[in-house]
Amino acid sequence: MGNKNKILVGQFGSPIGLNGEIKINIMTSTFEVFNKLNDYSNFEGTIIWSFSNIRFKGNKCVAKLNNYFSIEDVLKLKGQKIYSSKTNLLRQKIMNIM
């Protein structure tokens, strides 16, 4: 996926608890749009993240990433931006309209 096809959809915040959950500041129109995206990566596409669980807890988006098991694992993600493909985001918006 080329960089021109990337759009910023979120940013990792602070770790939550000890088991590797992390807060995400979502930048999509709704939580549902962010949750239904199929790909999450850094801008260069060299790091791809997959989530085992994304939920809304209180007024915060909290996620559990696959292969991240502790607070130490997710602490290095804090502040990193999350990108997805523009076509994937557009597909989700169209599906929400229908």
Tell me what pLDDT residue 93 has: 57
Indicate the pTM of the whole model.
Answer: 0.86
pLDDT at 87: 80
| Residue 97, pLDDT score | 55
Which domain does 21 fall in, by range? 3-97
Picking from 62, 80, 94, 61, the residue whose alpha carbon sits closest to that of residue 8 is 80
Q: What pLDDT, on a 0 to 100 scale, did the predictor assign at position 59?
A: 85
Which residues have a Cβ under 8 Å from the Cβ of 14 and sit 6 or more positions away? 22, 23, 78
Name residues of the chain where pLDDT drops below 70. Answer: 1-2, 89-98
Q: Retrieve residue 49's tokens.
A: 């993240």
Q: What CATH number is attached to the domain comprising 23?
A: 2.40.30.60
Residue with tokens 């694992």: 73
What's the pLDDT score for residue 1? Answer: 46
Q: What is the mean pLDDT of the chain?
A: 88
Whole-number pLDDT of residue 58: 83
Q: What is the number of domains present in the chain? A: 1
Locate all alpha helices (DSSP H) within 24-79, ordered by sequence. Answer: 31-36, 71-75
Contact between 53 and 25 under an 8 Å Cβ cutoff? The reply is no
